[in-house]
Structure 1
Amino acid sequence: MLKLTDTTVKFGAFEALSKINIDVQEGELVVLLGANGAGKSTIFNTISGLNKPASGEITFLGKRVNGYSPDRMVKEGIVQCPEGKKLFPDMSVQQNLMMGGFVHRRHKGQLKDSLEEVYELFPILKEKRENAAGSLSGGQQQMVAIGRALMARPKLIMLDEPSIGLAPLIVEQMFSTIKQINQSGTTVLLAEQNANAALKIAGRAYVIENGSVVLQGRSEELFNNDAIRKAYIGA
């Protein structure tokens, strides 16, 4: 579904990504593991069209998408849920969600269906739909951010550090929801520092360090890898 081949990204003389090779099959839940600053968000921003590769190729559903603008990528079916939520805090929950459906604004019935699907996934958001998004708890704001991304009806959703800053119980609920989103038919690419939780729901994983893929494999293999457990799981 998605394939990055020898993708390199430079910011001036600095090489942020070095010959990245990643593939995601339709229906998969794949996780990018790595510490803060490893390059996970740069990979996401490059797939989204926010960064332009210096070399290499990105293909989506067999089509070369290098150089596509971010709005074109959303129309193609790739939607990013950014780290830090990036909500409009003074707008209501429902207004924030509707912003995610902007590309489908001419299809009123589809927008209504998408909104109901989000409220079914996150019932608390329906209760608080008129509340300012900035007044919600951290976990509820993350629900809004994910819901907003789902409003664009993505074929592939990229979730950047969805567990960051959340209480352990909320993290567990969030990962359960991410698994549910995947099982409902949406392909998921997840970037996470919380390897313990991410490897439990993902099928495959890539380990990112200093802008390079240093390890990849099935989740259970990496979970049982001593070096990975020591570096990312603390066991």
Structure 2
Amino acid sequence: MSQLTLKASELAVKYGDFTALKGINLEVSQGELVVLLGANGAGKSTLFRAISGLNKPAKGEIHFHDNKVNGFSPDKLVKYGIVQCPEGRKLFPRMSVNDNLQMGGFVQRGKKKEMQKSMKHVYDLFPILKDKENNLAGSLSGGQQQMLAIGRSLMAKPRLLLLDEPSLGLAPMIVKQMFEIIQQINQEGTTVLLAEQNASAALKIADRGYVIENGQMVVKGTSEELFNNEEIRKAYIGA
């Protein structure tokens, strides 16, 4: 059995009087690629924000490599190895591709060789970014911006990479390429938790998955089990 990387137990998150997450239980083992399926507003981003320290849980616990990390600041969690690539990319549009990547590597400040090594890894994964390293991030296409957002996350050398809706708004051909790269990142040793509405593409590369509805986990299983579940196919795959 692989070592447990992430465990969320009975997690609840509130926005004022509104309970956005209720009794969430989730586990991700080291080396896995786990997908979190759900419609827009189901609670995927709220869960990611709780794991990465941006939302404080009202109840429950989050453990990362056996350490309780509730209440840790986002920057401390990045140093621990939890790195989120947010929905909507959140790049610095008036900064160059290279500078955006350098911002992602802030935990390696002062380690010039480590920074260079990470930069080379990102440029090897995304050669188009190397070609455009001096271009402003805001001038890139949607697909290239998503590549840059993932690349910036990798600069922090994550042990757990949280990818929030990486295929959103991208052309089908680019989506296919994006998922191949996510699979490669996972195969190179990074544990990945992927939040996606594109269930069909996500289940093809994931080991396991969870389905979240109205802030609650409703189904979990292997990718094959979820793909062959008639209700899930109707709701998320359209078949």
Give the structure 2 partner of residue 29 of structure 1.
33
Give the structure 1 partner of residue 24 of structure 2.
20
Give the structure 1 partner of residue 121 of structure 2.
117
1:59 maps to 2:63: yes
What are the equivalent positions in structure 2 for 1:211-226 lying under 5 Å apart?
Answer: 211-226=215-230
Partner SS state of residue 101, structure 2? helix
Looking at structure 1, the residues matched to 26 and 101 of structure 2 have their Cα atoms a distance apart, in angstroms, of 30
Identify unmatched segments of 5+ residues in structure 2: none
Q: What per-residue deviation string (whole Å, max 9, x for no partner) do you get for residues 121-146 of structure 1?
A: 00000000000000000000000000
Partner SS state of residue 48, structure 2? helix
Give the structure 2 partner of residue 185 of structure 1.
189
Which runs of 4 or more aligned residues in structure 1 lie more than 3 Å from their structure 2 counterparts after TM superposition? Answer: none
Partner SS state of residue 169, structure 1? helix
TM-score (norm 1): 1.00
Deviation at 1:182, TM superposition (A): 0.1
Deviation at 1:11, TM superposition (A): 1.1
Of all paired residues, the percent bearing the same amino acid is: 69
Deviation at 1:12, TM superposition (A): 1.1
TM-score (norm 2): 0.98
Q: What per-residue deviation string (whole Å, max 9, x for no partner) do you get for residues 101-154 of structure 1?
A: 001111110000000000000000000000000000000000000000000000
Identify unmatched segments of 5+ residues in structure 1: none
Give the structure 2 partner of residue 232 of structure 1.
236
Looking at structure 1, the residues matched to 107 and 73 of structure 2 have their Cα atoms a distance apart, in angstroms, of 14
The one-letter amino acid paired with 2:219 is L
What are the equivalent positions in structure 2 for 1:191-210 lying under 5 Å apart?
Answer: 191-210=195-214
Between the two proteins, the alignment pairs up a number of residues equal to: 235
The one-letter amino acid paired with 1:58 is I
Cα RMSD of the aligned pairs, angstroms, is 0.4
Give the structure 2 partner of residue 127 of structure 1.
131
Looking at structure 2, the residues matched to 127 and 47 of structure 1 have their Cα atoms a distance apart, in angstroms, of 34
1:142 maps to 2:135: no
The one-letter amino acid paired with 1:67 is G
